[in-house]
Amino acid sequence: MTNSANSAISHGRGLVSRIGPLMSNPLTAAGVAIVLIMAIVAIFAPVIAPYDPLVIDIRGRLLPPSAAHWFGTDEVGRDVFSRVIYGSRLSLGVSFTVVLIAGVIGAMIGCFAGFEGGLIESVIMRIVDIMLSIPGLVMAMALSAALGPSLENALIALVVVLVPSYIRLARGQARSVKGNAYVDAARLSGLSRWHILRKHVAPNSVQPVIIQSSVDLGNVILVAAALSFLGLGAQPPEPEWGALVGTGRNYFLDHWWCVVFAGGAIVLTAIGFNLLGDGLRDFLDPRHSEGR
């Protein structure tokens, strides 16, 4: 027990002392900076946004970018800049929520499956195989259509789509952790299976899930935006970025500002998450290093 506790502590200490090298990679640092800026924008949206994102001004509709409206106005005269600023709350919120929930659920089920083994594991893994054989966006579309199109239901659909891959990762790791001497030692010292799973196997099995979820943050932003764009996620007038592009699409040939800025925000955020995810992966799992 102390053995793994010690290793967990030293692991934690190592993590802190290695944050420096992580940030020394300029690309990763750029990713961190982008994500931080986006997070600040999301938190302080009411302070930053000059207008209420939902207030309609029909007389000022489809105005090009100007000093009063940096990103112009949309088809009912709402300030696009304010809407993009507020949109960061929805997009970042969805991405973090989905990855967090899916990661926790996936890690728990995966650890349990890998640790228990036998019939339970086979059944769980067969189900995972089946879920993974349906392309993600198709599954998400079917689910959000079935549950009724809304941002909350898109969120549930995305969690369902992500969980199986995390289960697979955690289960693989738990299986190999289970074979370690300290787990045998814990078992021989009479600790309960539940205790061993919780204190020894689980903490050492979550790393692949953490790595993958950091990479997935960027993907989830894109898929969530795509669902909203298609009308299966956030519903107008919610200022979700994908939904902004989806509505702006009807006007964009003559009013480019309706789609350019919201889409640019998606690209920028996704780049930030992808850089951060790659950096974290190389840092936590040097085997995947791309030979820098």
Q: Any contact of residue 33 with another protein (CB under 8 A)?
A: no
83 token code pair: 């809407």
Q: Any contact of residue 146 with another protein (CB under 8 A)?
A: yes
Q: Which of 8, 147, 210, 284 binds another protein (CB under 8 A)?
A: 147
Q: Contact region for another protein (CB under 8 A) — 58-66, 75-83, 108-116, 142-150? A: 142-150
Q: Any contact of residue 172 with another protein (CB under 8 A)?
A: no
Minimum distance, C-beta of residue 131 to another protein, in the bound complex (Å): 7
Residues 6+ apart with CB under 8 A from 234: 90, 150, 151, 154, 228, 240, 242, 243
Q: Any contact of residue 37 with another protein (CB under 8 A)?
A: no
Q: Contact region for another protein (CB under 8 A) — 78-86, 108-116, 202-210, 243-251? A: 243-251
Site for another protein in 258-287 (CB under 8 A): 259-260, 263, 266-267, 270-271, 274-275
With H, G, I as helix, E, B as strand and everything else as coil, classify residue 268: helix
Q: Does a cis peptide bond (omega within 30 degrees of 0) precede residue 237?
A: yes
Nearest-angstrom CA–CA distance, 201 and 193: 10
Q: Any bridge partners for residue 73, and if so which? A: 79
Q: Which of 76, 137, 191, 210 binds another protein (CB under 8 A)?
A: 137
Of the candidates 276, 246, 219, 215, the residue with the CA atom closest to the CA atom of residue 87: 246
With H, G, I as helix, E, B as strand and everything else as coil, classify residue 36: helix
Q: Any contact of residue 141 with another protein (CB under 8 A)?
A: yes
Q: Considering beta carbons, is residue 129 or 184 the nearer one to another protein?
A: 129
22 token code pair: 């992580």
Count of all residues that appear for the chain in the document: 292
Cβ atoms of residues 164 and 100 within 8 Å:
no
Minimum distance, C-beta of residue 15 to another protein, in the bound complex (Å): 25
Residue 223 sits at the vertex; the CA angle it makes with 219 and 228, to the nearest 5 degrees, is: 150
Q: Which of 49, 109, 226, 234 binds another protein (CB under 8 A)?
A: 226
Q: Any contact of residue 220 with another protein (CB under 8 A)?
A: no
Cβ atoms of residues 94 and 155 within 8 Å:
yes
Q: Any contact of residue 290 with another protein (CB under 8 A)?
A: yes
Residues that bind another protein (CB under 8 A): 126-127, 129-131, 133-139, 141-143, 145-148, 218, 222, 225-226, 229-232, 242, 245-246, 249, 252-253, 256, 259-260, 263, 266-267, 270-271, 274-275, 290-292
